[in-house]
Structure 1
Amino acid sequence: MSGSELKSEIWVKALLRTAQAHGAAGHVVRRGHGEAGAVLVKVARLDGTARLLVPARDGAGTRLFLDLTGKTAGPDEMSIDAYLAKRASQDDDIWIIEIEDKDGRSFISERVD
């Protein structure tokens, strides 16, 4: 994490406030390391489908999120939940956030690829 990036806990709080301000619900499914834990985001569409967004870096080192929906897991919620449970069992530091929005909005301000 570079000095200009927010701590994970602060970033998560801001994401949840933004979702709430736009009429969506969001909650912490799993709390990770407060300063530098990776934040994985599940966006549930409330119809049994979801998106899976995971952090990454581009060639210049800029943080972005990769949409792994249909690649690693999903678009069904059950396969995304299974993927997230596996990741959580392998990494004590990760955060898992769930946003519930029927339109599938993530409210992530970083680039999503």
Structure 2
Amino acid sequence: MRLRTDIFVSALLRRVFARGDFAAVEAKGADEAGAIFIRQHFRDGLETLYGPAPQSLFDEETSGERLFEQRLMRAEPDKVREMLERERKFDPDLWIVELEAEDLGDIVPLAGGRENPL
């Protein structure tokens, strides 16, 4: 069974704050099953965008988890904003979470078991 989106986001925010970094919800979507997009802000003004991983990347062990993939890496904020606007037209119930952290470590679970490169 998959964790509700609002509970997942709440836990994500707590983990970020516990590390001494900052996080905020930019857009709140459906509480039960809204898709989550994560904007990682860097001090140099660039951003990395994470979105839900495609279902084809899930296996039996990860079928109930939320996994993410990088959609844009260290891109200009305008490009990130444009991509999120396109996604919002497709799915108005999505969540957007902003993180100000140089290193996400294991906070954002990436598909394919890859470690977070940042």
Q: TM over 0.5: same fold?
A: yes
Kindly provide the CA deviation profile for residues 22-65 of structure 1, in whole angstroms up to 9, marking residues without a partner as x.
Answer: 11111111101000001011101132111111112314263421
Partner of 1:68: 71
Q: In proportion to residue count, which structure has more helix?
A: 2
Task: Give the structure-2-normalised TM-score.
Answer: 0.78
Identity of aligned residues (%): 30
Q: Following TM superposition, where does structure 1 have runs of at least 4 consecutive aligned residues deviating by more than 3 angstroms? A: none
Unaligned runs of 5+ in 1: none
- Tell me if 1:6 matches 2:9: no
Partner of 1:26: 23
Unaligned runs of 5+ in 2: none
Kindly provide the CA deviation profile for residues 38-97 of structure 1, in whole angstroms up to 9, marking residues without a partner as x.
Answer: 101110113211111111231426342111224xxx512221012112212321211111
RMSD: 1.9
Q: Is the 8 A contact 1:50 1:104 kept in 2?
A: no
- Tell me if 1:46 matches 2:43: yes
Q: CA 1:39–1:59 in structure 2 vs 1: closer, same or farther (change >3 Å)? A: closer
Partner of 2:104: 105
Task: Give the structure-1-normalised TM-score.
Answer: 0.81
